[in-house]
Chains A and B, each alone.
Chain A
Amino acid sequence: MKNNSIPSFVTIIFFFLLGWLLLIWTPYLQFGSQKLHEDQESGDLVPRPLSGLAIRGSKIYEENGCATCHTQQARNSNEDKVQGYSKRASVARDFFYQPATFAGMNRFGPDLTNVGSRKKSAEWHHQHLFAPQTLSPGSIMPSYQFLYEKRKIVGQHSGEALKLPSSVLIEEGYEVIPSEQAKALVAYLLSLDQSYSLPESPLIEE
């Protein structure tokens, strides 16, 4: 009787290697040869590097699994246009400086590729993270109160304290201050901005 296990093994490993070269090695060379692009208007190199704070914020984004409900990849689809996610599709080069790419698979929440250019106010983000339903009634976005500290007000109000609507019950004489983590996360969200043009994916003007 012919032994078929060794020939099968050899064939399988051969195709594994072929697939590996095609799907792991070739893309590695391609992605590795990307360069920054010089923006015609501003003369800046794009995409722009992330600040240290934003990089720390991306860790908070990762830890808390924000990518479970949010994607970060804009497409040239009808949905993306209607929702105003971006004026162009995301391409590989957009993620040049991202420590990890939270492409995501699910849009329980809106796409965040460009949220920094859409929602520019840090205050808005803090209130939304602390109590999403005060800004978006009926939202299923969880509140991230553990990223905030409740502190007794001593003397004057802190400049950093959240200005919450009265529907959020905070004990008398206390205020809510964003932790370092919350500040980093918001810095990261504000850095998400793909409103520059790239040759392989130019902005589509209306």
Chain B
Amino acid sequence: MILSKTDPSYEFLPREGNIKTENEFLTLSFGSLSLLWLLLSGLFLLVESIKLHAPEVFNQLSWLSYGKIHHAAQLSFLGALTQGLLWMGFSFIASAGQLLKRSNSLFFISLSLLNISFIVGIIELLSGNRGHGTLIFPPYSLILFSLGFFFLVPLLWNTLFKIQKLSPSLMFVALSFWTAPFSLATIISLSCGGYLQGAYGAWALAWFSHHFISLFLLPLGIATVLNLAQKYSPKLNQNEASLRFAFWIYTISNLMSSRDLIGTPLPFIPAWLRSIETVGSLFLSFSVLIILHTLFLQLKPLLSDLKKEISFPFFVFATTSLALLGVLKSLLAFQEVNQWVQFSTMTNALQTLLYFGFLMMIFFAWIYHQLPYLLERVWASSSLIQTHFWLSALSTGITILALFVASGLQTYRNATSEIPFLSTVIVIRPLLWIQSLSRVFQFSGALMISFLFLLLLLNWKPNPKNSLFYNPR
């Protein structure tokens, strides 16, 4: 199985120079903006925590109410995440030797629209133009975001069609870029047509949020995992057959179901649809586990070398989170289990696992591993990177643990008739404190990576002794 060269069909590098300028362009635009949004969302999350622990603070200011700040934090976090993940997706396409940059102006328009959409969205949220009940994007923001994305569609599709053979990693990127325009178009037309009302509104929004997370964000994250694994072991070929198999299971089960619907208490939905959801969810988790198992086998012989790689701990944390997510989600695919923990802080725990445990961590791993190669510069300090890892890992781990415990307490106590609801609220407060403390750590971590990124862009030359990085190539 061990071949001396990577498959030339998708790793061919026709014009090194172009790839470099493209990646510089992408780093400067999508990269820096995603980190800026990360910092902003960190600030919002801190304010949200203050509001939770001291409900009286700022209670005269309508735009600072808890619900508004909470959504503003989520939207700005999405600003970081979408741009970060798009950055990675574009970079994979660029490195496959396809020229994205031919259409500089398209990228520029798209980038501007995406960022305007997040700014407008935050203004809308804080000023009360919430719209659509529970959708994360307020109305105008959704339209601007979609426009920003649509501008890139011809270019992205065209580029993907030109690639002779899509690697498993590029398949996941393609899945994102091919389906997102359709789900965005669906939700915009439902919203503009006034269909998002009553129970159907809740139903359609759950479908959209499933598409946004499991068919747009998550595939880009998985693509990054595959890509990084290949970068860590360039001399080994990936077990493509099993990865492609997993890809198709993932894709079909996701497209045919919407696991957010499993818990909906609307018996109006025919029972057979419910069963499809459960089966779909099981398949989905199964495919994630196949992917991780394949990669584990691939990287196993290199583990001792990889210990020297600065980004590897991030990679391990991210993939472990993904595996855990897969296992938990497959448990929750059963209606009975789902109903048990449905509205508890388990929801928040799973969200933290997905956003901070997996997507953000794999994003960091990619930045730390890949930027030095792409830009031919070195990180200023490896100890700062290690500190960043421990801050993120500990804060994420502790938050998830605290939320699990809180969920258990809520589930047990709220189903026991002698225990009043309010006393449970009071009991879990300290656990929410832990979450808030973690946000301080997360924010410091975000400051660190932004600082390192800035130094890298400014081309600050470090002491060469400091930059001992494992270099597989």
A residues whose Cβ falls under 8 Å from a Cβ of B: 1-6, 8-9, 12-13, 15-16, 18-20, 22-24, 27-28, 30-32, 34, 62-69, 71, 73-79, 82-83, 89-111, 132-133, 136-147, 200-201
- The distance in angstroms between the C-alpha atoms of A77 and B160, with both chains bound, is 48
Known: A27-B203, A140-B55. A107 touches B166 (CB 8 A): no
Instruction: Check: B414 CB closer than 8 A to any chain A CB.
Output: yes
Chain A hits for B377, CB < 8 A:
none
Chain B hits for A31, CB < 8 A:
198-200, 203, 268
- Which residue from A2, A18, A99, A103 sits with its C-beta under 8 Å from B264? A103
Known: A103-B134, A140-B52. A28 touches B200 (CB 8 A): yes
Verify B134–A5 contact, CB threshold 8 A.
no
- Kindly provide the distance from the CB of A110 to the nearest chain B CB, expressed in whole angstroms: 6
* Additional A-B contacts beyond A16-B255, A82-B416 (10; CB < 8 A): A3-B165, A27-B204, A68-B66, A92-B266, A95-B199, A104-B134, A106-B343, A137-B422, A138-B425, A146-B65
A-B contact pairs, 27 of them (CB 8 A): A4-B165, A9-B178, A12-B251, A12-B255, A15-B252, A24-B204, A63-B129, A68-B71, A69-B66, A77-B339, A77-B340, A83-B414, A95-B199, A100-B134, A102-B133, A107-B343, A110-B421, A136-B422, A138-B422, A139-B425, A140-B52, A140-B55, A141-B55, A142-B51, A143-B59, A145-B60, A200-B267
- The distance in angstroms between the C-alpha atoms of A96 and B132, with both chains bound, is 16
- The distance in angstroms between the C-alpha atoms of A88 and B339, with both chains bound, is 15
Verify A15–B256 contact, CB threshold 8 A.
yes
Verify B134–A106 contact, CB threshold 8 A.
no
Verify A8–B174 contact, CB threshold 8 A.
yes
Q: Across the interface, name the chain B residue whose C-beta is closest to A28.
A: B200
Q: Across the interface, name the chain B residue whose C-beta is closest to A108.
A: B425
Verify B132–A100 contact, CB threshold 8 A.
yes
Chain B hits for A104, CB < 8 A:
134, 343
- The distance in angstroms between the C-alpha atoms of A2 and B9, with both chains bound, is 10
Verify A92–B66 contact, CB threshold 8 A.
no
Q: Across the interface, name the chain A residue whose C-beta is closest to B190.
A: A24
- Kindly provide the distance from the CB of A72 to the nearest chain B CB, expressed in whole angstroms: 9
Verify B166–A101 contact, CB threshold 8 A.
no
**A-facing residues in B106-130 (Cβ within 8 Å):** 128-130
**Contact-residue size bin, chain B (C-beta under 8 Å from the other chain):** 35 or more
B residues whose Cβ falls under 8 Å from a Cβ of A: 9, 51-53, 55-56, 59-62, 65-68, 70-71, 128-134, 157, 160-166, 171, 174-175, 178-179, 182, 186, 195-204, 207, 251-252, 255-258, 261, 264-269, 273, 276, 339-340, 342-345, 347-348, 410-411, 414-417, 421-422, 425-426, 429, 432
- The distance in angstroms between the C-alpha atoms of A90 and B267, with both chains bound, is 9
Chain B hits for A9, CB < 8 A:
157, 160-161, 174, 178
- Which residue from B202, B204, B273, B417 sits with its C-beta under 8 Å from A95? B202
- Kindly provide the distance from the CB of B284 to the nearest chain A CB, expressed in whole angstroms: 13
Verify B256–A79 contact, CB threshold 8 A.
no
Verify A64–B56 contact, CB threshold 8 A.
no
Verify B198–A97 contact, CB threshold 8 A.
yes
Main secondary structure of the interface of A (DSSP, over half): loop
Known: A77-B339, A82-B414, A95-B199. A139 touches B422 (CB 8 A): yes
Chain A hits for B160, CB < 8 A:
5, 9
Chain A hits for B266, CB < 8 A:
73, 90-92
- The distance in angstroms between the C-alpha atoms of A70 and B175, with both chains bound, is 35
- The distance in angstroms between the C-alpha atoms of A97 and B201, with both chains bound, is 12
- The distance in angstroms between the C-alpha atoms of A92 and B175, with both chains bound, is 32
- Kindly provide the distance from the CB of B20 to the nearest chain A CB, expressed in whole angstroms: 25
Chain B hits for A110, CB < 8 A:
421
Chain A hits for B61, CB < 8 A:
146
Verify A18–B200 contact, CB threshold 8 A.
no
Verify A102–B56 contact, CB threshold 8 A.
no
- Which residue from B59, B131, B196, B342 sits with its C-beta under 8 Å from A144? B59
Verify B199–A92 contact, CB threshold 8 A.
yes
Q: Across the interface, name the chain A residue whose C-beta is closest to B62.
A: A146
Known: A90-B266, A136-B422. A101 touches B199 (CB 8 A): yes
Chain B hits for A139, CB < 8 A:
55, 422, 425
- The distance in angstroms between the C-alpha atoms of A89 and B266, with both chains bound, is 8
Chain B hits for A79, CB < 8 A:
411, 414-415
Q: Across the interface, name the chain A residue whose C-beta is closest to B414.
A: A79
Chain B hits for A108, CB < 8 A:
425
Chain B hits for A96, CB < 8 A:
198
Known: A62-B130, A143-B56, A146-B61. A5 touches B256 (CB 8 A): no
Verify A63–B68 contact, CB threshold 8 A.
yes
- Which residue from B132, B164, B198, B268 sits with its C-beta under 8 Å from A30? B268
- Which residue from A24, A103, A107 sits with its C-beta under 8 Å from B410? A107
Chain B hits for A69, CB < 8 A:
66-67
Verify A5–B166 contact, CB threshold 8 A.
yes
Chain B hits for A101, CB < 8 A:
133-134, 197-199, 201-202
- The distance in angstroms between the C-alpha atoms of A76 and B130, with both chains bound, is 31
